Structure 1
Amino acid sequence: MNSPHLLTIRPEPGEFAWTFGGVPPVARLTPDTALAVYTEDAFAGGVRSVTDRVSRVCTFPLLNPQTGPFYIEGAEPGDTLAVHLVSIEPARDWGVSSTIPLFGALTSSPTTATLQPPLPERTWIWELDRARRTCRFQAQDSDIVVDLPMDPMHGTVGVAPAHGEVRSALVPDAHGGNMDTPEMRAGVTCFLGVNVPGALLSLGDGHARQGEGESCGVAVETAMNTTVLIGLLKGVRTPWPRLESDTHIMTAGSARPLEDAFRIAQLDLVHWLGRDYGLSHMDAYQLITQALESPLANLCDTNYTAVAKMRKAWLPPATPHRGLHEQLRETSRQLL
């Protein structure tokens, strides 16, 4: 197998996108391209110390800067774009997290208004040891220090939305976007339905690690050096983002309230088991009820995101998405 063409993109300040849709492409590439990109953190690098405050250094809605978009030659509405995450590596030896007034799962918000003051705004700087693969938490109100395993991921991977919409990079929906699922890690392929010619792929919002649900609304945010492989499935529709690893297939649903996000993910998995595994809807419904994992991605963004996760070992033999994950996985080994 020939090595894929490698395109390297490192945006300058001012060259990032802040939306999915409505932005001209920064490059055009073919589906067999390997793309090495630099992505900035959610705060565009503006929060760098425990004394910095997001509310002072960032201007809403200029959060979650995206690298891209990239025009994929041959991608048309009704196709499916495959984005295989070859490697995701922190570009800095530190990450940042924060509490933000009226934002997060355990505080009042503009849409869940209560008669109490916002939680205090604080900033934590996490030390990233890239050799030991750890993220160090230093408590601010005690001497407690905890080292957690590094688990790099991308909070945002998406394409231009359907119907000519332009969506903030803070919003997850059917086009992907700010899903904030820890499942979006190296070795995983993300499948996204193409809505416009060229798909217009963007990614960003790197997290050195994040717990499921992203409770305070902010992960361990950091800049990333990421390599992805691009694939294309012609004539295959993917209504909601789907992910495939070596061990699981997954679907992501985004909506409010949370039960609607849960339902979207579960229903899309039922459809996927029907299309690629030959199960009837009722049999798939029964099987996932007894076998499924349902990790939460985020409960803080404009839409919440829920994931439906199924072990391949518990499914009949099949080649989901025409075996494209396995093909991209094999090609990725040439880049590591």
Structure 2
Amino acid sequence: MNAPLISQGSARTDRSEPTGLYILRAAPETVHWGYFDAGLTPVLKVKSGALIQAEAVTHHAGDDPDLMMDGGVREIFDKVPESDRNPGVHLMTGPIYVEDAKPGDMLEVRYLRMIPRFNYGSNLAANWGHLYKEFGEKERVTIYKIDPVSMQAHAHYAYDYPGKYEIPGKITKCPECDRQKALNGVRVPVRPHLGTAGVAPDEPGRVSTIPPGAHGGNIDNWRIGAGSTMFYPVAVDGGLFSIGDPHISQGDGEISGTAIEASLDVLFQIVLRKDFEFPSPLLETPGYWIVHGFDEDLDNAMRFASLDMVKFLNEQRGLSNDDAYSLMSVSADFTVTQVVDGRQGVHVRIPRTIFPPDSK
């Protein structure tokens, strides 16, 4: 059995010291739009333990450019041509090369702080949403405003999107649109997180950012926010880690097709781990360990999440497979992460508090 990944008394057994703070701004030369690619030239090279302050820009900033764009964001939208935004849709900052990271290693990414760049975000009821046909194949944008004091958001206004939302980064004519009131008096909690982040898959050419997978990608789990830690399995030298698709709030399922999409400034630390391996993105929060499963079939996604949780409990908690199976049935919670990314997601979480304190 491997040494326990995480101790009960503290967030991590590994206490790597920061090797310096790096600033990574989102700009036309530091972003890639719609894809991961193992052949991309890194925009930043760091050692294990590096602290990185990076800008994550939403590809939905054009839903109201007056409220969700500044000069830096507009430059990206102006200079990255629509023909280069494919095959996915998400605007990614990176990639970051981690020295000595090799296939089979893990990148431990400690998300420390996520701050909205603007006090506005956009939700789209999209053509890829789960109930698109039931809603008459209409697409609708709702602009939300953040109250930074209460950390709640409310609907600022809404409008029907004319036609079909197909071009990533489309800039709409919102000042000229027919604005509607929406969700009068309703407040939703602001919980900033990254919808898409991960390493480059070991595949030739561009890999779409839309489906999640072993590399991470578009997981859309709102728990991937400040105070959480993600473990990504490295597939290529250096890992080539990127972040994007920032959100300020989302429910499990993401049923309309999007969250509240809003740009974030993200502080995180990357630690190279060579002392364990795991086949899929693994999430640690203050209260839970969370394992993800993905497949076009939701039943298969749940099965894959189950099998990987058995592996986690076996290798990291020392349980037999039989004991892990029993414990999952009486203590683990399975939840649909999202149903709108082509490859659907299920995550299973198990409380850290049910285990005895580690002796180490």
TM bucket normalised to smaller: 0.7 to 0.9
SS of aligned partner of 1:145: coil
Which of 134, 138, 141 pairs up with 1:120?
138
Q: Where do 1:28-47 residues align within 5 Å? A: 28-43=45-60, 45-47=61-63
Q: Distance in 1 between matches of 2:110 and 2:313?
A: 21
1:70 equivalent in structure 2: 96
Q: Where do 1:279-290 residues align within 5 Å? A: 279-290=319-330
Do residues 259 (structure 1) and 319 (structure 2) align? no
SS of aligned partner of 2:324: helix
Question: Alignment identity in percent?
Answer: 30
1:97 equivalent in structure 2: 123
Change (3 A) 1:177 1:318: farther
Do residues 26 (structure 1) and 34 (structure 2) align? no
1:5 equivalent in structure 2: 20
1:164: how far off?
4.1
Q: Which runs of 5+ in 2 are unaligned?
A: 1-14, 69-80, 158-179
Which of 326, 331, 344 pairs up with 1:304?
344
Change (3 A) 1:15 1:290: same
2:228 equivalent in structure 1: 188
Q: Which runs of 5+ in 1 are unaligned?
A: 109-115, 324-336
Q: Distance in 1 between matches of 2:59 and 2:303?
A: 28
Q: Distance in 2 between matches of 1:248 and 1:42?
A: 31
1:236 equivalent in structure 2: 276
Q: Distance in 1 between matches of 2:266 and 2:153?
A: 18
Letter in 1 for 2:305: A
2:189 equivalent in structure 1: 149
Change (3 A) 1:147 1:160: same
Which of 253, 257, 277 pairs up with 2:317?
277
Letter in 2 for 1:185: G
1:131: how far off?
2.3
Change (3 A) 1:125 1:14: farther
Q: Distance in 2 between matches of 1:23 and 1:295?
A: 34
Change (3 A) 1:25 1:3: closer
Change (3 A) 1:268 1:70: same
Q: Distance in 2 between matches of 1:24 and 1:14?
A: 11
Q: Distance in 2 between matches of 1:142 and 1:72?
A: 45
1:16: how far off?
1.4
1:255: how far off?
1.1
2:132 equivalent in structure 1: 107
Change (3 A) 1:134 1:241: same
Which of 20, 24, 48 pairs up with 2:64?
48
Q: Quick check: 132-141 or 187-196, which moved more? A: 132-141
1:263: how far off?
1.2
Do residues 245 (structure 1) and 285 (structure 2) align? yes
Alignment TM-score, normalising by the size of structure 1: 0.85
Q: Where do 1:126-145 residues align within 5 Å? A: 126-138=144-156, 140=180, 144-145=184-185
1:300: how far off?
0.3
Letter in 1 for 2:194: H
2:213 equivalent in structure 1: 173
2:166 equivalent in structure 1: none
SS of aligned partner of 2:32: coil
| Residues 334 and 346, structure 2, Cα contact 8 Å, conserved in 1 | yes
Letter in 2 for 1:239: P
Alignment TM-score, normalising by the size of structure 2: 0.79
Q: Quick check: 11-20 or 285-294, which moved more? A: 11-20
Q: Where do 1:197-212 residues align within 5 Å? A: 197-212=237-252
1:331 equivalent in structure 2: none
Q: Quick check: 186-195 or 235-244, which moved more? A: 235-244
Letter in 2 for 1:87: R
Q: Distance in 2 between matches of 1:125 and 1:82?
A: 34
Change (3 A) 1:165 1:261: farther
Letter in 2 for 1:106: L
Q: Distance in 2 between matches of 1:179 and 1:143?
A: 27
Change (3 A) 1:223 1:141: closer
